[in-house]
Structure 1
Amino acid sequence: MSSRFAFSPVPEGPHQRYNPLTGGWVLCSPQRATRPWQGQEDPPDTEPKLTYDPTCYLCPDNPRKSPAGISVQNPAYTSTFVFDNDFPAVLPQRPTESSETQTEASSTIIKATPVHGTCKVICYSPRHDVSMAEMPVSEILRIVETWCDIMMELSRDTRLRYVQIFENKGPMMGCSNPHPHGQVWALDKVPQEPAQELARLRGYSVQQGGETTLASRPPCLLCDYIHAELSATHSQRVRVVSENTSFACVVPYWALWPFETLVVTKSHVTRLQDLTPSQRYDLADILHSLTCRYDNLFRCEFPYSMGIHQAPCQSGPDNDYAHLHLHFYPPLLRNASIRKFLVGFEMLGQPQRDITAEEAASRLRACSEIHYKRASA
């Protein structure tokens, strides 16, 4: 186990765990896992989906609506399909600053600054009725290759600083269209969450600078963390869900969401486009493994928000400290109908969870990598 990243014994009762990527703490309350539940339940949608939906804005050959009400026709695509978001969160051109905005920007309290960028949508498949969990690895590999192509394309725009790739799966996560798809928001600024992580990664590396593991790079928090998880004896690999040659999937020690996971490269890779062909395949493979286990856990289309964190797309002092990884934040708590809400103490005090990371990983490990729909068939 890495000498720089060791685990303390986990207390049996209430305790808090440190998140080195944010500098915050998570309160763990395992004794609450069996408390009576009379709160909101959201029955999952069990209606079978159509392979093609003529009313879907994202299916092949269907029209989409623009803000001006003009229809745009989708091509008859047969693989992944990428287009500029018709309702983008940021625009390519900087807005003109009014005198009022300039006045506010000069305040020490009330501040505003313009943001520009571009937003894209990635349709994962022409089929309306499949998610990543039900796709073969070969089709998920096309998604991974698309991510890499988009990264290389957007990195050539010197105005852009960061490319955030993410997916919201399921209506519980606010997904506005059930067709399998993800999004790309590229901004001229590094967003708050990855910026905070980059600062923590850099701080760890500087702090550990006297103990360089490889002459070609400084010490890395995530390299040390994943090495510690994977180097443990078999009985102590309690947070590892799955792994292959290039990637590991763990329920992080500091997880907040009940079945939160972290997918991390085993070697130090900073950006998607730097992955070798075999690493790209392994990323597709571990995404298939994880998303299939998610669906099998409660035999439903398991909702989540997924995001990729990596180095900024332009060269900078923090790029070498970045470590490519994917966050999965799923809200389901006890079954397909009960979800975790971040309210009350979580909003006003600090993050809190009932199911320990070790229990969550154990339950995910026990799930098959054969999707329950295929197993039933």
Structure 2
Amino acid sequence: MDSAPSGFVADSRISTQRQTLADGRELIYFDDPGTTLPPGRAADTRDLDARPETADMRQDALTGEWVSIAAARQNRVFLPPASEDPLAPSTPGNPSEIPSNYDVAVFENKSPSFGPLLTAPDAPDGLADLATIGLGRSRTSVGRCEVVCFSPEHEGSFASLSLTRARTVIEAWAHRTHELSLLAGIEQVFPFENRGEAIGVTLRHPHGQIYAYPYVTPRTARLVDSVESYGPGLFADILASEQAGDRLILRGEHWSAFVPFAARWPIEVHMLPHRQIPDFAATTLGERDELAVLYRRLLRGIDAIYDTPTPYIAAWHQAPVNVHRDDIRLMLQVTSPRRAENKLKYLAGSEAAMGAWIGDVTPEQAAATIRAAVERAAKEEQE
């Protein structure tokens, strides 16, 4: 049985302030508990061009998948110097996307892959319409894309945040998951962080993104098939198996992290909550508190494997907004192509063309390496 998006319980210690940018985009400030920032926020006085037209998405008739063609993204900023950082607090010399100093800030992406329209005459009208296969099928890429700025600093990642700031970011993910799930036409909400130029990052500023899709993504559709084949206990059984095995990395009261049995990437760690939670909006304050500790510890451990920071994608898979909310569980998947200190795994013929993966390191060996690095990083932090 499916249920509607769960009621969100906000943390009263973390205040929010909303603002509208000069071109109409929404900006939300999330203030740390005990923040030293003043309550007021400056207005955005820039003279901005109109927002780009909402992109189109086209169906691949061979797979049924939808591909968003967002040409406006071709001109987005690429690795600017710190003096031109668009995610830094605005200054007279750098009129950025965020008018005031901040702890955590979330705003609508200037060059979105989905949106800014949430409805359109030819927008998806339910999942049944999108599932039909045909030639030359296109739809408006309605939806929403947001940028989550973790810190006003020019460089860093989630791992470099203080524990207090990490908790504020997690609160922002829960808040935005809740509100985005209520928007018209949204079928799935996806928070993620890309870290490192090897992954394709175009801004060094510590940040992540949230995509609100007008469909259930292909990866989740495959997961739905697995749940329907195995049964609703799939996630609970995976968690119990990994907790009892030798690939476990971290275990708390509410969360466990492990290298999966069939890991594809040289560095791959999954994290699951200990109870059925469809998304961030359904987490309790206690679960968010512990997650700030364990997730930060995990990423610091991954960075401790080598002498230089490791590129990764940290993907928070959430249940669709309207289906399978009682049997698909919130899940983190951290993946990195780094297979040695100076070597990356590239997706060549078998993986890229056929989706048939070949692992370079056994998951058990990878788990031992990551576990030792997590323990080493935690010990160094305490000293």
TM-score by length of 1: 0.72
Amino acid of the structure 1 residue aligned with 2:343: I
Determine the structure 2 residue equivalent to 1:32.
Answer: none
Q: Structure 2, unaligned stretches of length 5 or more?
A: 1-80, 124-130
Amino acid of the structure 2 residue aligned with 1:78: Y
Does the CA contact (< 8 Å) of 1:244 and 1:282 recur in 2?
yes
The secondary structure found in structure 1 opposite 2:262 is: coil
Deviations 1:28-87 (A, max 9, x none): xxxxxxxxxxxxxxxxxxxxxxxx93221111125899xxxxx65522233111111011
Amino acid of the structure 2 residue aligned with 1:90: F
Amino acid of the structure 2 residue aligned with 1:173: I
1:131, CA displacement in angstroms?
1.7
Deviations 1:119-143 (A, max 9, x none): 1000001122332222232211111
Amino acid of the structure 2 residue aligned with 1:244: G
Determine the structure 1 residue equivalent to 2:181.
Answer: 155
Does the CA contact (< 8 Å) of 1:57 and 1:63 recur in 2?
no
1:176 to 196, 202, 205: 202
Deviations 1:97-128 (A, max 9, x none): 59xxxxxx997344333331011000001122
Runs of 4+ in 1 over 6 A off after TM superposition: none
Deviations 1:170-189 (A, max 9, x none): 10000110000000111221
Whether 2:298 is the aligned partner of 1:290: answer yes
For this pair of structures, how many residues does the alignment match?
294
1:327 to 316, 330, 333: 333
Determine the structure 2 residue equivalent to 1:200.
Answer: 226
- Which of the two has higher C-alpha Rg? 1
1:269, CA displacement in angstroms?
1.1
Determine the structure 1 residue equivalent to 2:134.
Answer: 108
Does the CA contact (< 8 Å) of 1:226 and 1:264 recur in 2?
yes
The secondary structure found in structure 2 opposite 1:267 is: coil
Does the CA contact (< 8 Å) of 2:339 and 2:360 recur in 1?
no
1:165, 1:63 → 2: CA distance?
32
Determine the structure 2 residue equivalent to 1:220.
Answer: 233
Determine the structure 1 residue equivalent to 2:127.
Answer: none
The secondary structure found in structure 2 opposite 1:81 is: strand
Q: How does 1:338-357 map to 2 (within 5 A)?
A: 338-349=343-354, 350-357=356-363
Deviations 1:191-224 (A, max 9, x none): 111222133223321xxxxxxxxxxxxx421111
1:126, 1:87 → 2: CA distance?
21
Higher relative CO (Cα under 8 Å, sequence separation at least 6) belongs to 1
The secondary structure found in structure 2 opposite 1:270 is: coil
1:81, 1:268 → 2: CA distance?
29
The secondary structure found in structure 1 opposite 2:343 is: coil
1:73, 1:345 → 2: CA distance?
41
RMSD: 2.8
1:345, 1:73 → 2: CA distance?
41
TM-score by length of 2: 0.71
Deviations 1:264-300 (A, max 9, x none): 1111111111111110112111211110011100121
Q: How does 1:256-295 map to 2 (within 5 A)?
A: 256-295=264-303
1:255, CA displacement in angstroms?
0.7
Amino acid of the structure 2 residue aligned with 1:310: Q
Does the CA contact (< 8 Å) of 2:235 and 2:328 recur in 1?
no
Amino acid of the structure 2 residue aligned with 1:301: P
